[in-house]
Amino acid sequence: MGGQRVRRRRILAASSGFLAGAVAGCLDPPAGEDDPELGDPEPYVEVELSGIPGDPHLDPPVVHLVDGGILEWVVESGSHDVTAYHPATYRNQQRIPEDADPWTSAELIGEEASFDHQFDGEGVYDYACTTHEDEGAVGSIVVGWPDPDDQPGLSPPSGEYPDAAIEELERYNERVRKFLEEAHR
């Protein structure tokens, strides 16, 4: 009988642990908890621009800033630029908030070359490294906690963009929209 009691206790203990884990999995995590780049807006973020021909990238490609926050793009390797998707700077589709000022950097050449921009006003801001856009070098900036339904940056990308840029922007749109919808529940 003593052995049976021990087994029963072990089964109960194991079941309790399993049940606690199962219940915890049903609870909604705070918005952004499952996305290391979203959910905790920062006053300053640095994005590394790097890559070799055929493999350019932005790291991280999606960032979350406080209203008034500064993003600095720093070249790790290669030659890059960063330009807002806005009719005044690049392409015909506006992918930044209506009242936001578009930006464009000069060509950034060589290690540690950099460009920074202050983002005043909540919203989703999309940009491209125009040199490598055809290889998917695009990024998305979330400033504050904007309503996802009012963001030009979350609309479908224009068909005039290179396929790789469209694919990345659609992926970022899905990620950012999910995050903002959870935050606004």
- Cα separation, 13 vs 7, in Å, equals 10
Residue range 24-52, pLDDT digits in tens: 333 343 444 446 689 999 999 999 999 87
Residue 113 has pLDDT above 60, yes or no: yes
Q: What does the radius of gyration of the chain's CA atoms come to, in whole angstroms?
A: 22
For residue 83, count other CB atoms closer than 10 A to its CB.
18
Residue 23 has pLDDT above 90, yes or no: no
β-strands 55-59, 42-52: how paired? antiparallel
Cβ-contact 80, 73 below 8 angstroms: yes
Lowest mean pLDDT among 46-60, 73-87, 110-124: 46-60
The reported pTM is 0.81
